[in-house]
């Protein structure tokens, strides 16, 4: 990538953040090629800021926010049900090692999500499955952060109820999945 026009503060911040940002992206999406694409897009957006990038108080945090938003945009462009399931598996399988349970959860999550209202589904997908920060979601939707925090808590409770009712999932006191009995969805 040609960086001849880049301001020194951008290059310094980028050299300190690039590898960490790349590892974070790979961990988030599990796809090295997509991570490289998002990384490049993030750098280009920083370059477009030109000298104003140097005025950003928390430059590294800004880069991560831009990368998270770019990743979310990519997922929205290419999202299919199986990608949604793949993104959800690490969160949902934290306490189970049984392959059948994982397969059952993979089949159940999209159905549970579809039973939520569009607003609840959108906030769960954006913040919990795609990793968008609540602050970024609030800015995107032009809502107060406190409103987003309330909405996501309500949406999570509704999703938890759907998973309990229709997927036979039980949660422990810390709201983590403790037990799952695969069954056919109705």
Contact indicator for 112, 167 with CB cutoff of 8 Å: yes
Q: How big is the chain, counted in residues?
A: 186
Angle at CA of residue 175, ends 170 and 180, nearest 5°: 25
> Could you list the mean pLDDT of each consecutive 10-residue stretch along the chain, which spans 186 residues?
63 90 87 88 86 84 88 73 43 43 63 89 86 89 91 88 77 64 50
Tokens standing for 78?
């290419």
pLDDT of residue 179: 64
Beta strand extents in 18-174 (DSSP E only): 169-171
pLDDT of residue 182: 53
pLDDT of residue 6: 58
pLDDT of residue 103: 52
pTM of the entire predicted model = 0.44
The domains found in the chain, sorted by start residue, are 8-78 (1.10.1740), 81-180 (1.10.10.10)
pLDDT of residue 144: 92
Beta strand extents in the chain (DSSP E only): 169-171, 177-180
63 vs 61: CA distance, rounded Å: 5
pLDDT of residue 8: 84
């Amino acid at each position: 990538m040609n960086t001849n026009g880049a301001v020194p503060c951008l290059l310094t911040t980028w050299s300190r953040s690039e590898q960490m940002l790349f590892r974070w992206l790979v961990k988030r999406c599990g796809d090295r090629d997509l991570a490289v694409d998002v990384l490049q897009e993030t750098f280009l957006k920083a370059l477009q800021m030109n000298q104003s990038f140097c005025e950003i108080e928390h430059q590294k945090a800004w880069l991560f926010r831009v990368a998270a938003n770019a990743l979310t945009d990519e997922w929205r462009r290419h999202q299919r049900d199986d990608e949604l399931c793949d993104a959800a598996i690490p969160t949902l399988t934290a306490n189970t090692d049984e392959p059948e349970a994982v397969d059952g959860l993979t089949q159940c999550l999209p159905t549970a999500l579809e039973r939520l209202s569009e607003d609840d589904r959108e906030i769960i997908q954006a913040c919990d499955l795609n990793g968008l920060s609540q602050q970024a979601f609030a800015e995107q939707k032009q809502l107060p952060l406190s409103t987003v925090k309330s909405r996501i808590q309500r949406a999570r409770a509704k999703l938890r109820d759907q998973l309990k009712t229709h997927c036979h999932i039980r949660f422990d006191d810390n709201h983590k999945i403790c037990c799952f009995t695969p069954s056919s969805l109705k």
